[in-house]
Structure 1
Amino acid sequence: MPKVCIIIVNWNGKDIVSKTLESVMQLTYKDFDVVVVDNASSDGSVEFIKNRFSEVKVIMNKKNLGGTGGFNTGIRHALKKKYPYIWLLDNDVIVDRDSLLSLVEVMEKDSGIGIAGSKILQMENPDIIWEVGVKMDWNKVGRVLINHNMKDTTDDHRVYEVDHVAACSLLVRTSSINKVGLMDENYFWCFDDVDWCLSFKKGGFKVVAVSDSKIWHPNFEEKSKGKISKRNYFSTRNWLYLIQKHTNGFQKMRCIRKTLAREFSAMFIYKLNDNEYAYRIFSMAVKDFFFAKLGGVTGDFDKAAPELKSELKSMGKIIDIKKLNPRKILIYPSTSISDARKVVNAIRNILPDAEIHFLIEENRKFGLTDLGINTFIPYKGPTRLYFLELLKLRRNSYDLGIMPYKTFSDIDIMKRILRYEDDQFYEIERNNMVLQITKMLLSTVVGELLGTILLPFWWTRKFAHSEYLVK
């Protein structure tokens, strides 16, 4: 079987990368070398890896080049060594014993495949699929994750032809890189793997996801727990860059206009609600895209976006919910199942007889059904919630609403709303519901207007991509 170079990018991940390496060493496919590219870690990662895994080659970057630059460092090494295949892995995944074997077998059977990715299962819910590849939906300006949130089954042995797979487990044919080029370091982090896969498809190669190849990865929603963070900056800026690079004509115009309208609307509502942190994150992302300030961010980012935790602490006082003694509680939607479980368990420990209703998407109930929640209320997105079901929920006379974390543009439909953060319940200042609805409608109008008026300036932006072609 052909030899594979496994590349793992690490940045201050000493506590997690060891589990990834341990799982790699258990692979049934044995013809491989492992390279860890360290992005100038300060937590002793390099020394730890060298001492614990002597068979692993460590390449040290002088500064943090992001996931994109880190992978490119490893890819350049693999190209010089002439490995037939390169397997990119995140530093926080656990790989199935047969995961690499399944990928190589598929690639060996079809020389037209340039990239093959794994079925990604959720670390927090090991039998639940996060995705088996992704399809782009430019008509809706979004992406469709294949088999997202479905229960895993041993009966599915399909190989899906997709638009992109995640770089947390991505096997690439080395010879195809000479035609397509390296990863675009303008991204630094987030959507870089999407861009690379789309570039492979433009180059005439197929991109596939292999059901028999399994890895486990903490899903991004669990990582962010719905909080506004640097990831929001990169995802917003890089999504605009992705559209600029991979769409044309009317499709590009429509995608950029719709994205700008959404971002300007969000910025406006954050500003109206005095959420300077979120406003600065999104405004910096849009501004940096326009001025072609790509790649990694400088110290200006941290000046504009102070630590989220300190801002959350200032949002309300700690509340003893036992003294409130609510009989009927509504828990707001949560992107983080682990956070949702924490808040339900906390309520049950303090108020065992309280009636708990949970507003949640239908395909996300799987991680909560064992907690004794009285009622699951289907949640189909904020538009439906705010404008069609708002009064219905209000008529249910809930004594208390609880958010697993603080969200930033909610309409108050409860008598009282708390946020659960760091094992404490915090008071959230109530806002006038009519005023909040007015703000949301106004922000939508402003977003649409600004997105349309400013479209020509963004649509004509030009960027250089050629520097990442293999020389």
Structure 2
Amino acid sequence: MSENPKVAIVIVTWNKKSYVMELLTITKHQSGVKRFLYILNMLRGTGKGVVYSLLSVLNTTAKLLFYGPLDFVRGKFYKSGLSVKTADSPDPESTIIPIDDLKISTVSKVIILPNASYIVIKNMIAKLREQSPSCHISLLIQVDRHELFKDLEIDRFIVFEGYRQSTMQTLAVLKSILEYNYDLCISPSRSLLPFSYAVKKYYLYDHKRNYFVKSKEDIYASWKLFVSFFGGELLAIILMPFVYLKSLAHQ
């Protein structure tokens, strides 16, 4: 194993222009309570992302997220105040682990996150089965992708609503993962998902280089979820008057 402070790289392609235009669309087609709630919910999601990114030392990612509502307030509907592509290192003490050194036993319980294509997930499952044909593999998968993955060697599917699901639904998924007591969680791409905070060990898979990166974003760092939730709500409340008042100018 070798230590590498720059291995866990997340490429962020969050489109602030689309975010700003969505806010503008809401202001033109919604009114009253509906407009207020639509805007508030967008800011709640953004706020949580900003706080989480800051806690994970993803400073540029936090700026990208924050510039969405900021560009709307400043009237920058077609020109963003910040580049939409950046690279952040979410885990400065990551460890590279070759796939053969993952040491999955016959009794290991593995959960795979859904943040990759069908081919990447399929190939990764095949590699895991080569190491341990009888290990338990669960797949967390969005409801609209569930059918696509049914032909894979999966022991258990955990189906969720994806980006449409509520906070309570997300908590229910986390509870389900916690109760099953998985030995490790694998993300089939180099991006992070909050569901890793329900598992003791978390690995990011680099399919191009065929190795894993051990991440510290596991159950022992789950406090970030709680801080992000409440901090994000607070940030949304702070931003709401500015964004809502600006929306009134675009009715």
Instruction: Give the TM-score range, shorter chain.
Output: 0.7 to 0.9
76, 83, 100: which one pairs with 1:301? 83
Within 2, Cα distance between the matches of 1:312 and 1:361? Answer: 24
Give, in angstroms, the shift of residue 427 of structure 1: 0.9
Please say if 1:342 is aligned against 2:123: yes
CA 1:362 to 1:263, structure 2 compared with 1: closer, same or farther past 3 Å? closer
**Residue 270 of structure 1 contacts residue 409 of structure 1 at CA under 8 Å; is this kept in 2?**
no
Identity between Structure 1 and Structure 2 (%): 24
Within 2, Cα distance between the matches of 1:241 and 1:297? Answer: 14
Within 1, Cα distance between the matches of 2:42 and 2:96? Answer: 37
1:115-142 deviations in Å (ceiling 9; x for gaps): xxxxxxxxxxxxxxxxxxxxxxxxxxxx
1:35-76 deviations in Å (ceiling 9; x for gaps): xxxxxxxxxxxxxxxxxxxxxxxxxxxxxxxxxxxxxxxxxx
1:360 aligned counterpart, secondary structure:
strand
Within 2, Cα distance between the matches of 1:361 and 1:260? Answer: 23
Counterpart of 1:267, as a letter, is V
Q: How does 1:62-141 map to 2 (within 5 A)?
A: none
Give, in angstroms, the shift of residue 283 of structure 1: 1.1
Q: For this pair of structures, how many residues does the alignment match?
A: 232
Within 2, Cα distance between the matches of 1:461 and 1:247? Answer: 14
Give, in angstroms, the shift of residue 335 of structure 1: 6.0
Unaligned 5+ segments in structure 2 are 1-9
Return the structure number with greater helix share.
Answer: 2
Q: How does 1:322-337 map to 2 (within 5 A)?
A: 322-326=100-104, 327-334=108-115, 336-337=117-118
Higher gyration radius (CA): 1
84, 97, 111: which one pairs with 1:319? 97
Please say if 1:424 is aligned against 2:211: yes
Give, in angstroms, the shift of residue 403 of structure 1: 0.9
Give, in angstroms, the shift of residue 373 of structure 1: 1.6
Counterpart of 2:118, as a letter, is I
Unaligned 5+ segments in structure 1 are 1-226, 466-471
**Residue 116 of structure 2 contacts residue 188 of structure 2 at CA under 8 Å; is this kept in 1?**
no
217, 234, 259: which one pairs with 2:17? 234
Give, in angstroms, the shift of residue 266 of structure 1: 1.7
Counterpart of 2:146, as a letter, is K
Please say if 1:269 is aligned against 2:56: no
Within 1, Cα distance between the matches of 2:197 and 2:12? Answer: 24
Within 2, Cα distance between the matches of 1:335 and 1:382? Answer: 22
CA 1:250 to 1:392, structure 2 compared with 1: closer, same or farther past 3 Å? closer
RMSD: 3.2
Deviates more, 1:370-379 or 1:280-289: 370-379
Q: TM-score, normalised by structure 1?
A: 0.43
Task: Name 2:149's counterpart in structure 1.
Answer: 368
Higher RCO (CA < 8 A, seq sep 6+): 2
